Amino acid sequence: TRDAAGLEKIILKEPLGASAEVYLYGGQVVSWKNDRGEELLFLSSKTSFKPPKPIRGGIPICFPQFANVGALEKHGFARNRLWSIETDAPPILSSTNASGSNSSRGSTVDLILKPAEDDLKMWTHNFELRMRLTLKRGGDLAQTIRVRNTDTKPFTFTFALHTYFSVSDISEVRIEGLETLDFLDNLQDRERFTEQGDSITFDGEVDRVYVSTPTKIAIVDHEKKRTIVVKKEGLPDAVVWNPWDKKAKAMADFGDDEYLHMVCVEPAVIETPITLKPGEEWKGRQEISVVPSSYCSGQ
Ligand code: BG6
């Protein structure tokens, strides 16, 4: 289907009521609803949906770099390129049952991005970037990312699933699973600190790369009485971002007060970039689910 601006999107629906929407533009998920029809992702009301601007919200895919290092554009170019549907995607080989979406019931779409000629001028490496998106029968959303080196030389990249979650009120939100870990503070030249608190709460701008994080992170939303659980594989780091009021005002595609209702928790590979030799493939995965807030995230 196409939206009002003519961008093509795919809608996954499950019989129990859950749904997800993904644009070919950016391979970007923009909506994920549970079986009660509640939207769990944040999408800015100010986003333009006009290429080449990336879509503000949902799950932008940052590749071949997170942040802005060197001449390459910030967060890479995958988020503002047109991906394609891949009907004959190669199977995902995995060591654990939980990793394969073939075996679990649900709706799936496979998307792929290959570099265009112009992209190869900026980043001189041939690659195939794949995303398999699966909406499971119970409503959990799984994304498996694969990067294959189809070049004749090795290449190195960083990556993030820049997930924007919708929350009731940022001051009532707690992130669990990152306590006592080291983080690089993007607000202080990536200086390294160690998290001291019990869990992360918000009363100002936060922009941090937590390193070597556990496979499970919980976003506890008191007011909505729900917890979103992020499970990840192959994505050791996790960015936590809320722009707060000043930065919100400075972003043209973000409402002045929208920072109150979102938080980004982004499974990523940043501190130790991935290097792939010709023919090699890397795989990363996140699965997000929502549970009532009496749930204890226990690591
Ligand atoms: C976060 C970064 O992941 O993305 C922030 O840590 C950045 O520093 C934010 O501001 C949004 O980036 P962009 O390019 O989508 O405005």
Once rounded to an integer, what is the mean pLDDT over residues 135-148? 97
Tell me the residue type at 172: E
> For position 95, what pLDDT does the model report?
57
Once rounded to an integer, what is the mean pLDDT over residues 175-201? 95
- Counting from 1 in the atom list of ligand 1, the atom nearest the Cα of 60 is 15
Q: Is the pLDDT of residue 99 over 70?
A: no
Residue located nearest, by CA, to atom 5 of ligand 1: 207
Measured in Å, residue 166 CA sits from the centre of ligand 1 at 16
Measured in Å, residue 112 CA sits from the centre of ligand 1 at 24
Of the pLDDT bands very low, low, confident and very high (cuts 50, 70, 90), residue 100 is: very low
Specify whether 86 is catalytic.
no
Q: Is the pLDDT of residue 256 over 70?
A: yes
- What contacts 275, CB < 8 A, 6 or more positions away? 154, 155, 156
Q: Where are the domains of the chain?
A: 9-292
Q: Is the pLDDT of residue 221 over 60?
A: yes
Q: Which of 59, 162, 259, when mutated, tests ligand 1's pocket best, judged by the most ligand atoms within 8 Å of its CB?
A: 162
Measured in Å, residue 126 CA sits from the centre of ligand 1 at 26
Q: What is the pTM of this model?
A: 0.95
Among residues of the chain, what percentage have pLDDT more than 90?
88
Of the pLDDT bands very low, low, confident and very high (cuts 50, 70, 90), residue 197 is: confident
Measured in Å, residue 103 CA sits from the centre of ligand 1 at 35
Residue 239 in contact with ligand 1 by CB distance below 6 A: yes
Q: Is the pLDDT of residue 298 over 50?
A: no
Classify domain 9-292 at the CATH topology level: Beta-galactosidase; Chain A, domain 5 (2.70.98)
- Counting from 1 in the atom list of ligand 1, the atom nearest the Cα of 264 is 3
Residue located nearest, by CA, to atom 10 of ligand 1: 243
Residue 241 in contact with ligand 1 by CB distance below 6 A: yes
Measured in Å, residue 266 CA sits from the centre of ligand 1 at 11
Residue 68 or residue 271, greater confidence: 271
> Can you tell me which residue has the tokens 């594989």?
233
How high is the mean pLDDT of the chain? Answer: 93
Q: Which of 41-50, 87-96, 100-109, 187-196 bottoms out in mean pLDDT, i.e. has the lowest?
A: 100-109
pLDDT tens-digit readout, 31-84: 999 999 999 999 999 999 999 999 999 999 999 999 988 889 999 999 999 999
- Per-residue H/E/C for the chain: CECCCCCEEEEEECCCCCEEEEECECCCEEEEECCCCCECECECCCCCCCCCCCCCECECEEECCCCCCCCCCCCECHHHCECEECCCCCCCCCCCHHHCCCCCCEEEEEEEECCCHHHHHHCCCCEEEEEEEEEECCCCEEEEEEEEECCCCCEEEEEEECCEEECCCHHHEEEECCCCCEEEEHHHCCEEEECCCCCECCCCCEEEEECCCCCEEEEEECCCCEEEEEEEECCCEEEEEECHHHHHHHCCCCCCCHHHHEEEEEEEEEEEEEEECCCCEEEEEEEEEEEECCCCCCC
> For position 264, what pLDDT does the model report?
98
Q: Is the pLDDT of residue 162 over 90?
A: yes
> For position 96, what pLDDT does the model report?
53
Of the pLDDT bands very low, low, confident and very high (cuts 50, 70, 90), residue 299 is: very low
- Radius of gyration, CA atoms only, the chain: 18
> For position 145, what pLDDT does the model report?
98
Residue 162 in contact with ligand 1 by CB distance below 6 A: yes
Residue 207 in contact with ligand 1 by CB distance below 6 A: yes
- Counting from 1 in the atom list of ligand 1, the atom nearest the Cα of 209 is 6
Measured in Å, residue 296 CA sits from the centre of ligand 1 at 30
Specify whether 75 is catalytic.
no
Residue 74 in contact with ligand 1 by CB distance below 6 A: yes
- Counting from 1 in the atom list of ligand 1, the atom nearest the Cα of 207 is 6
> For position 104, what pLDDT does the model report?
58
Catalytic residue among 14, 21, 162, 258: 162
Residue 237 in contact with ligand 1 by CB distance below 6 A: no
